[in-house]
Chain A
Amino acid sequence: MSIKLSLPLKKEDIKKLKAGDSVTLTGELYTARDAAHKRFYEMVLSGEKLPINIKNETIYYVGPAPAKPGSVIGPCGPTSSYRMDKYTPMLLDMGLCAMIGKGERSDEVIDAIKRNGAVYFAAIGGAAALISKSIVKDEYVCFEDLQTESVHKYTVKDFPCIVAIDSFGNDVYK
């Protein structure tokens, strides 16, 4: 049985999650992968305001394929999360509360997850056509020049994930 969660997540709901739990997510989240993370990071370092308020938000690491005419979105499975590790502790310390991706995270990220009571979900890598059925709305947000790597806001309904690293630092991959 999956645990049904609403986005934005509440801190008390995050606390109840255990690594290995199956969950479904419903609500709004932001997308960002390598290039957008690099920009976020550089903006923060140079004292600029981020184009999105990430406090209590969820970021999905994804770069979708284009949507066919008449579709909400193209195939959109998770990308490997470790490539975002360099940028993630800073975002967590700024209030980001959940990430969705696939694969392992660094010790620094796990520490930041614990420190901030956050959570890391894994979606199934390569199940992109199936996952696209959980996205009911796609809105462009920023960084248009990054193409598939630009930041979007998705409205998701019953998006299936596994709790990969819980707020206590338990890691399903270990």
Chain B
Amino acid sequence: MRIIKAEDIKNAVKAMFMSLNCNIGDDITNALKKSLANEESDTAKAVLNQLIENNEIAKREQIPLCQDTGMAVLFVEYGDKVTIDGDFSEAIMQGVREAYIDGYLRKSVVDDPVFDRRNTNDNTPAVVHTKIVSGETLRITAASKGFGSENMSKIKMLAPSASVEGVEEFILETVRAAGPNPCPPIVVGVGIGGTFEQAAKLSKMASIRSVDSKNADERYADLEDRLLEKINEMNIGPAGLKGKTTALKVNIEYEPTHIASIPVAVNICCHACRHQSIEM
């Protein structure tokens, strides 16, 4: 048995959200710079240069790189030999609360989606996905998800007869329909398999996987590459003002599914693809 203090979890969550909103990952910075070298149009280059400059200002001044500091999403892998000293859920919520208040992050959560829509004023509740794993480690991934891109995400339950062509077509159709709205260049997170809700969850996990990574299964890795190529031929471009860089990466996560279906979820993330992980 290993004991982790709830207070340490709260502090770790707070530190991650304060940091990830001001410091974009090196993988995104490098991908933006690589795209800049590949672009031909002056407008596309100008937009990419502004994004690179924007992220440098955010890092230098420790201010959020985007005003939409998102809804807080956390993936927790909870080792079954770990005992928390204190209230685990409250530690996570308090970490989010303190980060958004002390870190000058925007409070973007409303209490009721349809009727009241009153701001909760501290950006809670966060969306927390917990998985029990074996071991003595607690691993937390934190992401701030902006909703300009979240709103452009889609899910579809395909018949097995749709096969890989149907999967590709749905992903491409989703990106095409999103057009300039989700702040391209985007990261396309794709979840395939499982159930309806599991596909959606996988697509979120895929959207915050490093853009330098690829699926371990070669067939899925090839599909990631092929989709990226087709998406970047759509000429949506940086900020939707045309160009060769519509997406920085397509990441696919898959899981076993039912004999009757191919669930496919496409979770789009803007270029401000912000996430950090910690192991305790």
Task: List the interface of chain A (C-beta within 8 A of B).
Answer: 20, 22, 35, 62-68, 71, 74-77, 79-80, 82, 102-104, 122, 124-133, 146-148, 160, 162, 172-173
Contact = CB atoms under 8 A, between A and B. Distances in A.
Interface of B: 43, 46-47, 50-51, 53-55, 57-58, 61, 63-69, 104-108, 117, 119, 121, 148, 151, 179-181, 183, 239-241, 270-272
A65 B106 contact: yes
Contacts of A82: 181
Contacts of B69: 65
Main secondary structure of the interface of B (DSSP, over half): loop
B119 A74 contact: no
A130 B61 contact: no
B63 A68 contact: yes
Given A65-B67, A76-B67, A82-B181, A130 B104 contact: no
Contact of A128 (B46, B64, B119, B240): B64
B239 A124 contact: yes
B67 A74 contact: yes
Contacts of B53: 130
Residue with the highest number of chain A CB atoms closer than 10 Å, among B67, B104, B119, B180: B67
Given A129-B64, A130-B50, A66 B106 contact: yes
22 contacts: A20-B43, A65-B63, A65-B106, A75-B65, A75-B67, A80-B181, A102-B240, A103-B179, A103-B240, A104-B179, A122-B239, A122-B240, A125-B239, A126-B54, A126-B183, A127-B54, A129-B57, A130-B50, A131-B54, A133-B57, A148-B107, A173-B179
Contact of A102 (B57, B105, B183): B183
B54 A129 contact: yes
B270 A126 contact: yes
A110 to B, nearest CB: 15
Contacts of B46: 22
A75 B66 contact: yes
B232 to A, nearest CB: 17
